Structure 1
Amino acid sequence: MIWGLLFDRKGYLHQSGWLRSVRRMQAIDVTDCPIPWLSYPFIEFIEPRLNKFMNVYEYGSGNSTRWFAKRVGLIHAIEHSLDWYNTIKGNLPDNAILVYEPLELKADYHDMAFMDVNDETPYSLNIKTRNLLYDIVIVDGVNRNNCIANSIGCVSSNGVIIVDNLEYSGQMQAGLNLLKDAGFKRLEFWGLSPIVYTKTGTGLFYRPDNCLLI
């Protein structure tokens, strides 16, 4: 009975591609196409709201870079891992520009992801070197608190900021407080995401007049 529920082709775990993502250990859908490593409810929410007039900045790269590039006009992404950068860069379309910016810290990934909000690095500051206001900024890499801090001034007046892994809100509280102080409202999308079998949250931070019309 349980196995039937898990592998029923009409079931959510199959149709969302979650089972396939676990087997392949990649953020992919049921047809093996790349999807963001964000919560499924958020992906379903934002996909129909994207268009080719939008530009995106992404802290952290991966299948999400490819997925967004297919749906928006331009995406800039930054990556701190050289191995991952070399893996991703060869699979990107022309409208996706990926840069490598190492974060030379003797710490594990968790420590690098949730550094103090005042710990500025070339990685977190890269968005300011682009001289562009973005419609969407995605914070899903390292040094998240300071990346949030720098993103606030680099989104357009109707731009939105996406922060993944709200289950770690405590470690990102300083950055999340900055968004609140800047007048951003918060919409949370909780559920499964590719590969992961525990509940995860993706946060959408927006102002009343926003490009997603919410």
Structure 2
Amino acid sequence: MGNKSSLRKFFRNTYFKITPFLPENPLVNIFNKHFGHLRSAQLHKPMDADGTELPWFTYPAIEYLSQLDFSDKTFFEWGSGNSSVFFSKRVKSITSIEANEEWYSIGLTRLSSNQNLILAAKDEYANRIKVSDKKYDVIIIDGIVREECAAFAPAYLNEGGMIIYDNSERDPLVCKSLRERGFIQIDFHGVGPVNFYSWTTSLFFKDFNFKPKENQPVVPRGGIK
């Protein structure tokens, strides 16, 4: 594991050094400039080319979710960070549960009026969704004890709501358990901010009560208008 980590670090550092001198490649240009991947990787923060916060999801998932109108929707999220900032600008309200004290402290400095950030120990983390006894339009699973969170989530999801499960390729049995409870699973495979590998962000829903902000599909980043 240590050798793999060192190899990744070496690759990243070498890539940053040689990229400015490589012949321009249209696909690499879209990836690094339009999506802002080079900047996000260098700063190790999920962000776009303008420095705007992004969820640490795959780019295909971010592109799709960015087309939906969440202005009247309530969000609940296990795991906080740039996703909290990103969605707080687009939703009616968002409640985030965080187990890491450092991330919690950082989150407190960036709270907006429609956000609620809660620090929870591991043994109460998944259970925190029970406290307010509310249901939500969107529930994000992107923190610790994901199997427990996925077990709780359906009971607290509004009709027509959506579960977003990041890094779902790591938990095929958890995803299977949601499908067995009647959810449709839509996978967004691909690369995303910061990382130099691909992964999967999945959406789960039964009925789908979300409208696009405009006609779909829109011209994607790096597309031809």
Contact 1:25 1:195 survives alignment (8 Å): yes
1:205 partner SS: strand
Gaps of 5+ in 2: 1-18, 213-225
Give the letter aligned to residue 58 of structure 2. S
Match of 1:210 among 197, 208, 211: 208
Task: Quote the residue 1:32 is aligned against.
Answer: 51
TM-score, structure 2 length as denominator? Answer: 0.80
1:152 partner SS: helix
Task: Quote the residue 1:166 is aligned against.
Answer: 168
Question: Are the structure 2 counterparts of residues 167 and 8 from structure 1 closer, same or farther at C-alpha, using a change threshold of 3 Å?
Answer: closer
Match of 1:136 among 135, 138, 141: 138
Gaps of 5+ in 1: 104-120
Task: Quote the residue 2:12 is aligned against.
Answer: none
2:107 partner SS: helix
Give the letter aligned to residue 151 of structure 2. A
Give the letter aligned to residue 69 of structure 1. S
> How much has 1:8 moved relative to structure 2?
8.1
> How much has 1:88 moved relative to structure 2?
1.5
> How much has 1:176 moved relative to structure 2?
1.9
Between stretches 57-66 and 85-94, larger displacement belongs to: 85-94
TM-score, structure 1 length as denominator? Answer: 0.84
Question: Are the structure 2 counterparts of residues 6 and 150 from structure 1 closer, same or farther at C-alpha, using a change threshold of 3 Å?
Answer: farther
What pairs with 1:11-50 in structure 2 (closer than 5 Å)?
11-50=30-69
> How much has 1:142 moved relative to structure 2?
0.1
Task: Quote the residue 1:186 is aligned against.
Answer: 185
2:160 partner SS: strand
Contact 2:168 2:175 survives alignment (8 Å): no
Partners of 1:35 and 1:11 lie apart in 2 by 17
Partners of 1:9 and 1:32 lie apart in 2 by 19
Aligned alpha-carbon RMSD (Å): 2.0
| Structure of higher CA gyration radius | 2
> How much has 1:128 moved relative to structure 2?
1.4
Partners of 1:42 and 1:8 lie apart in 2 by 19
Partners of 1:5 and 1:95 lie apart in 2 by 43
Give the letter aligned to residue 126 of structure 1. R
Match of 1:83 among 87, 102, 123: 102
> What does the per-residue CA deviation read over 1:82-136, in whole Å, with 9 as the maximum and x for residues that have no partner?
1110011111211011000022xxxxxxxxxxxxxxxxx3100111112211110
